[in-house]
Structure 1
Amino acid sequence: MSQGSEPRTTSVTSKRFYDAYSSGYATYLERHTGYFRAVEKEIATAAGNRRGLALLDVGTGTGERLQRIISAIHPDRVAAIDESPDMAALAQRNCPSAQVLAIPLSAPELPGELSDRFDLVTCLSNVLGHIPKAQLIPALKQVRSLMKPDGVFIFDVNNRYNAATYGPLSVIRNMARDRVLPGGGDFTAAYRNGDEVLQTPVHLFSPSEVARMLRESGLKAAKIGFRDYVTGQERGRFGGSIVVKAVSV
């Protein structure tokens, strides 16, 4: 590419985006350390003192967060999945005790690859926002099928009413649109990869959308909270990402 010319922009799948992003993902993690640690404390609280705990991490990324969670709750069995082979390879290196599979959630073969069900399932950093809308409820139903009867599912998603991140005017527009066409909306994530800018759509959820998709997938919210995406402090519905603890109905 000649000096001063603009990099080309390419729309890609979530899988290709995170294959490329795997090398720069640590910087993103550092920017949101306070938020991530707060969510991880909620996971540790949910795990409690269960004996023989089995943990599944969906969309594990580099596995660095998973290794911190393992160190905090000491599960007997750990499995993790990620649709990006490059991310899955990093996760396996960072979590040598885990069974890490390069496979997407909702893949028909996934239950057969996992030998048993889980006490705790985690799905962090808006992984659900990368799942195509038509596949989202089937994916959540699959999560439910992978949980033990008393299992817990903890996930977080980007809140389209988060004024602290997107600004008050954007939130007002989003709320007005949702009154006419409920169902959240998308934004475009971008990553500079050499001479190319990769873009992929990412879904933003509303709190009511989260509650609806839980009902449709046979899950029940035990807790829906909001945390500042930088500090991790608890906020109201207009001040942070959505953090959910769910159980089977």
Structure 2
Amino acid sequence: MSKGSTPQATSVTSKRFYDAYSQGYATYLERHTRYFRAVEAEIAAAAGNRKGLALLDVGTGTGERLQRVVSEIHPDHVAAIDESPEMAALAQRNCPSAQVLAMPLAAPGLPAALADGFDLVTCLSNVLGHIPRTQLVPGLRQVRSLMRPGGAFVFDVNNRYNAVAYGPLSVIRNVARDCVFPGGGDFTASYRSGDKVLHTPVHLFSPSEVVRLLRESGFKVASLGFRDYVTGQERGRFGGSIVVKAVSA
């Protein structure tokens, strides 16, 4: 590509996007370190002091966060999945104690591939926002089916009412739109890979949408809060990402 030329824009699947993004993901992780640490503290609290803990991380990415969680809570069994083979390979290197599978959530063969039930399931950094809308409830139901009695599901998603991230006017429009057409909305994530700019749709959730999806999937909300996506501090519903702990209904 010649200097100053405009890179080609290409719309791709989430899998292809994160295959390419795997090499640049460390910068994103560094930018949001304090937020990630705050969410990881909530994961540790959900784990408690349970003996023989089995942990599953859905959409594990590079596995660096999973390794930090493993070092904190010391589970007896660790498994992780990611739809991107490139990310799954990185995760296996970064968290060698885990069983890492390059499989998407809601894949029919996933339960058999994992074999064991889990006391704690995590799904971090808006992974649910990359799952096709038609697969969200089936995917969440699959998570519930993989959990042992008394298990916990901890996840975070992008909040479409986060005025700090998206601006007050966008949030006002989103609130008004959701009063008429509930169900959240999408934005486009972008990443430059060589001479191309890759685009992929990412879903933004409203708090009420999260509660509804969990209810449809057989979960109930144990806690739902909001944390600033940079500092990790607790915020109100218009100031942070949504962080949830859910249990079987």
List runs of 5+ in structure 2 lacking aligned partners: none
Instruction: Please state whether the residue corresponding to 2:174 is helix, strand or coil.
Output: helix
| Deviation per residue, 1:18-61 (Å, 9 max, x gap) | 00000000000000000000000000011010000000000000
- Post-superposition Cα deviations, 1:199-231, rounded to whole Å, max 9, x if no partner, equal 000000000000100100000000000000000
Q: CA deviation at 1:3?
A: 2.1
How far apart, CA to CA, are the structure 2 residues paired with 1:131 and 1:163?
24
Q: Which residue of 2 aligns with 1:65?
A: 65
Q: Which residue of 1 aligns with 2:192?
A: 192
Are 1:26 and 2:26 counterparts?
Answer: yes
Which residue number corresponds to residue 151 of structure 1? 151
Q: Please give the alpha-carbon distance, in whole angstroms, between the structure 2 residues aligned to 1:143 and 1:80.
A: 12
Question: Match of 2:83, SS?
Answer: coil
**What residue is the counterpart of 2:141 in the other structure?**
141
Q: Distance in 2 between matches of 1:24 and 1:123?
A: 20
Over the matched positions of the two proteins, sequence identity in percent amounts to: 82
- Tell me, in whole angstroms, the C-alpha distance in 2 between the residues paired with 1:29 and 1:4: 29
Matched, 1:215 2:215: yes
Distance 1:43 1:209 in 2: 22
Letter of the 2:241 partner, please give it: S
SS in 2 for 1:35: helix
Alpha-carbon distance between aligned partners in 2 of 1:127 and 1:133, rounded to the nearest angstrom? 12
What is the TM-score when the length of structure 1 is the normalising length?
1.00
One-letter amino acid matched to 1:7:
P
| SS in structure 1 at match of 2:234 | coil
How far apart are the structure 2 equivalents of 1:214 and 1:6? 43
Once the two structures are TM-superposed, the CA of residue 136 in structure 1 deviates from its matched residue by: 0.3
Report Cα offsets for 1:123-148 as digits up to 9, x if no partner: 00000000010110000000000000
> Residue 149 of structure 1: CA displacement?
1.2
CA distance in 1, matches of 2:44, 2:83: 25
Q: Return the alpha-carbon distance in structure 1 between the equivalents of residues 110 and 122 of structure 2.
A: 16
AA aligned to 1:198 is L
Unaligned regions of 5+ residues in structure 1, if any?
none
Q: CA RMSD in A?
A: 0.4
Alpha-carbon deviation of 1:4? 1.5
* Whole-angstrom distance in 2 between the partners of 1:198 and 1:160: 22
* 1:43 matches 2:38: no
Q: Which residue is 1:13 aligned to?
A: 13
Question: What is the aligned partner in structure 1 of residue 99 from structure 2?
Answer: 99
Q: Aligned partners of 1:42 and 1:3: how far apart in 2?
A: 46
Distance 2:88 2:39 in 1: 22
Q: Give the whole-Å Cα distance in 1 for the aligned partners of 2:49 and 2:136.
A: 31
Q: Residue 2 of structure 1: CA displacement? A: 2.1
Shift of 1:119: 0.2
**CA shift digits 1:43-87 (9 cap, x unpaired):** 001101000000000000000000000000000000000000000
Mapped to 2, the partners of 1:84 and 1:90 lie a distance apart of 10
Find the counterpart in structure 2 of residue 110 from structure 1.
110
TM-score, L = length of structure 2: 1.00
The whole-number CA distance in structure 2 between the counterparts of 1:202 and 1:222 is: 26
Other-structure match for 2:247: 247
